Structure 1
Amino acid sequence: MNNAVIVKAKRTVIGKKDGVLKHLSPHKLAAPILKQLSIGIESEINDCILGNVVGPGGNVARLSALEANLPLSVPGLTLDRQCSAGLEAIRLAGYLVQGGAGDCYIAGGVESTSTSLFEKRARFSPEHIGDPDMGIAAEFVAEKYRISREMQDQYASLSYKRAWKSFENGLFDKEILPLSNLSSDEVFHQKRNMDRIISRAKPAFQKNGTVTAANSCGINDGACAVLIMSEKKANELSLKPILRFIDSEVTGVHPFYPGIAPVSAIRQLLDRNGLSIEEIDLFEINEAFASKIMACTNELKIPIEKVNVRGGAIAIGHPYGASGAMLVTRLFYEVQRQPKARYVVAAIGSGGGIGLAVLFEAVPD
């Protein structure tokens, strides 16, 4: 079996819906990332795999590859596993490399909520089960797993503080490809007193609820992808491997509780690979809602010091199809800052009750 390694990772800035990226369609967002990742190795790329959730439909990956002037031989595959789509694209590329189907893939995701043609979301679950919106489902998770408003607000505050500190220290600079003269995420364009905003926020989805707009992610635009290839090909091209794809797991839970779905995926993944929570140095778990992060970390007994150490979607944003790739990109750069880190996990829960977790090993110098 071939080793699959990630050698490059880039993302755009993240914009709010109808914000700084509102004029860019998905293929216009993704194309600069694909172009940057493929510089000098265009002829080596077997395929481009992108996640996309809210449209415009069609094969966004092929359109993006053509927009990026990649060789016509790069076909393009677009997939949708809701919020897990970008991570699923990387997972699929990892297995394709391991299985010998190809040596070199660009994988990630893109989302333009600003230009989406869909007025309503797709169904997550059939009527006979029930189909709650994600905000209501976050309330269900908070209630079932006893996650209080105070716990959620404390975590949201931590996410904002971590993200702002990372931004001010320039820690996001390497992962961002400037786009349309934009080099920082829209959330950082204006400093605000987030603790006051968090404490004063009203329940957003349920009367007397605990989930608010301030302890939840926003609706966002952005693109993110990685260059993943066989370790042999990386050596041939003199590209340094940073993360080695080890294994992954995808599981399903009741559609009322998508926020808890990463728990079963992470447990099964670590059990199969003979690893414990203590042996994982870093976790990136998508912050769609603070109730989700608190429920997952409590159930798995993950120290919060290991989770989303540079902030996450609550602070920076959640461009659905790209978010899973952003988790991997964050790990890609973080293991370079933490040379003692060995095993890391990216995980995400999606509408419909799907949990996806991917295990990587940091490649030592």
Structure 2
Amino acid sequence: MTAPPQPDAPVIVAARRSPIGTAGRSLATVEAADLAGPVLAAVAADVPGLAPREVVLGNCMGPGGDLARVAALTAGLPVEVTALTVDRQCASGLAAVELAVTGLRTGTGLVLAGGVESASTAPWRFWPPGRGEQPVRYHRAPFAPAASGDPDMGLAADLLAQERGVDRTRQDAYAARSHARAAGAMTAGGFDAELVPVAGVVRDERPRAGLTVQRLARLRPAFRPGGSVTAGNACGVNDGAAAVAVVDAASHRRLGLPGLRVLGTGTAGVDPRRPGIGLVPAVRLALDQAGVALADVDVVELNEAFAGQVLACCDELGLDPERVCPDGGALALGHPWGASGAVLVVRLFSRLVRQRRGELGLAAIAAGGGQGVAMVVQACR
């Protein structure tokens, strides 16, 4: 099936990311703005002849304030370039790209959009102390009111896998495949064109070529006794940044650059007690807006927060898991929360534009609090 023509849709004409580091390791001393700055500068340089007018950047756990503005100035962009920071938790990076696209359906120019997370340098936060009490540190913001249920993401993913019949064997096999694919792509140079060196770091830190199902089977449940989610079939805690350059249709015609035309987007809400399923209704909304079926999509990039969660979503969508993340996903590369949604779009750009491996692509991610964001794109060359 050919996607219905959308000649006036905005187009992504450049896409880059930093290497993804494990928290506390290769990028441990690099603050969020300094992670995003080089990536924004590289993406802007990839679009000669058109200056950006705005930066939209997702972030979850940064220092507060308008981090996008700090990152834009760190990138050396002119002071006239405005900036907006977005927080839709793990979906923040893709939500930022969606906002840029929405604005350019009626506006004009170039917008840089994406996300950044430095878990290593995220400031500590404390609840205000009560009378005579000491402050209490909290490790994450509330995702939902306590009365409606606000489980940690790992526990929620474990319960989702149990309820949807996704057993430990399937999860470990999926995780091992993600690492094998990512390690193979690294060896073949499949990530090289999208990477921007940061602080001397030039490659992703997490993928493990020899991570077998047998090794994963030895790991104990991480979130509840008798559970199926382990440190091996769950993502890591990571640092990284990703950004894309989005232009309106008229500017794209003038530039003549290859890119990804954004055919459809979707944002959906679900039960906050099972946030991982949130990408499913978002995918359906995006596909419907694009006028295509899931079977027509050539490259599928789902954020692999937990193998059990991804497999539950695949089962719900009727999607063969073999089609997901052909070069490995967040289980292998890592999950820098605010950046991960934008990383998915960078991966689509590399597969569909740089490597010309298909025409249609889908990116989707779930978020704490029970939300999902999805985007359907079409290569235009």
Q: TM bucket by the smaller chain? A: over 0.9
Q: What residue is the counterpart of 1:34 in the other structure?
A: 40
Q: Is the 1:148–1:210 Cα contact (8 Å) retained in structure 2?
A: yes
Partner of residue 94 from structure 1, selected from 101, 122, 141: 101
Q: What residue is the counterpart of 1:319 in the other structure?
A: 336
Where do residues 281-360 of structure 1 align in structure 2 (5 Å cutoff)? 281-336=298-353, 339=356, 341-360=358-377
Q: By how many angstroms is 1:247 displaced?
A: 1.5
Q: Is the 1:286–1:349 Cα contact (8 Å) retained in structure 2?
A: yes
**Distance in structure 1 (CA, Å) of the matches to 2:354 and 2:80:** 37
Per-residue CA distance 1:252-291 (angstroms, 9 max, x = gap): 1101111111111112322344322211111111000001
**Distance in structure 1 (CA, Å) of the matches to 2:211 and 2:378:** 38
**Distance in structure 2 (CA, Å) of the matches to 1:43 and 1:332:** 20
Per-residue CA distance 1:221-277 (angstroms, 9 max, x = gap): 011000111232234345x13200111111111011111111111123223443222
Structure 2 counterpart of 1:226, one-letter code: V
Partner of residue 194 from structure 2, selected from 175, 179, 200: 175
TM-score, scaled to structure 2? 0.91
Q: What residue is the counterpart of 1:82 in the other structure?
A: 89
Secondary structure in structure 2 of the residue aligned to 1:360: strand
Structure 2 counterpart of 1:52, one-letter code: N
Q: Is the 1:251–1:355 Cα contact (8 Å) retained in structure 2?
A: yes
Partner of residue 162 from structure 2, selected from 143, 155, 168: 143
Structure 2 counterpart of 1:257, one-letter code: R
Q: By how many angstroms is 1:80 displaced?
A: 0.2
Q: Tell me the number of residue pairs that the alignment of Structure 1 and Structure 2 aligns.
A: 361
**Distance in structure 1 (CA, Å) of the matches to 2:262 and 2:377:** 5
Q: By how many angstroms is 1:2 displaced?
A: 3.6
CA 153–246 in structure 1, closer or farther in 2 if over 3 Å, else same: same
**Distance in structure 2 (CA, Å) of the matches to 1:328 and 1:228:** 12
Secondary structure in structure 2 of the residue aligned to 1:76: strand
Q: What residue is the counterpart of 1:64 in the other structure?
A: 71
Query: Which consecutive residues of structure 2, in runs of 5 or more, have no partner in the other structure?
Result: 1-6, 125-137
Moved more, 119-128 or 338-347: 338-347
Moved more, 284-293 or 40-49: 40-49
Q: Is the 2:265–2:285 Cα contact (8 Å) retained in structure 1?
A: no
Q: Is the 1:4–1:228 Cα contact (8 Å) retained in structure 2?
A: yes
**Distance in structure 2 (CA, Å) of the matches to 1:163 and 1:50:** 26
Moved more, 176-185 or 337-346: 337-346
Q: By how many angstroms is 1:298 displaced?
A: 1.1
1:45 equivalent in alignment to 2:64: no
TM-score, scaled to structure 1? 0.95
**Distance in structure 2 (CA, Å) of the matches to 1:175 and 1:69:** 20
Moved more, 106-115 or 297-306: 297-306
**Distance in structure 1 (CA, Å) of the matches to 2:180 and 2:193:** 20
Q: What residue is the counterpart of 2:204 in the other structure?
A: 185
**Distance in structure 2 (CA, Å) of the matches to 1:270 and 1:80:** 24
CA 257–42 in structure 1, closer or farther in 2 if over 3 Å, else same: farther
Secondary structure in structure 2 of the residue aligned to 1:302: coil
Secondary structure in structure 2 of the residue aligned to 1:356: strand
Q: By how many angstroms is 1:194 displaced?
A: 4.0
Query: Which consecutive residues of structure 1, in runs of 5 or more, have no partner in the other structure?
Result: none
Secondary structure in structure 1 of the residue aligned to 2:244: strand
Secondary structure in structure 1 of the residue aligned to 2:192: coil
Q: What residue is the counterpart of 1:219 in the other structure?
A: 237
Q: What residue is the counterpart of 1:54 in the other structure?
A: 61
CA 302–50 in structure 1, closer or farther in 2 if over 3 Å, else same: same
Q: What residue is the counterpart of 2:172 in the other structure?
A: 153
CA 42–107 in structure 1, closer or farther in 2 if over 3 Å, else same: farther
Q: What residue is the counterpart of 1:105 in the other structure?
A: 111
Secondary structure in structure 2 of the residue aligned to 1:47: strand
Structure 1 counterpart of 2:292, one-letter code: L
**Distance in structure 2 (CA, Å) of the matches to 1:48 and 1:160:** 32
**Distance in structure 1 (CA, Å) of the matches to 2:339 and 2:142:** 20
**Distance in structure 2 (CA, Å) of the matches to 1:292 and 1:87:** 19
**Distance in structure 2 (CA, Å) of the matches to 1:68 and 1:340:** 31
**Distance in structure 1 (CA, Å) of the matches to 2:12 and 2:201:** 26
Secondary structure in structure 2 of the residue aligned to 1:131: coil
Moved more, 205-214 or 119-128: 119-128
Q: Is the 2:11–2:261 Cα contact (8 Å) retained in structure 1?
A: yes
Structure 2 counterpart of 1:353, one-letter code: G
Q: What residue is the counterpart of 2:21 in the other structure?
A: 15
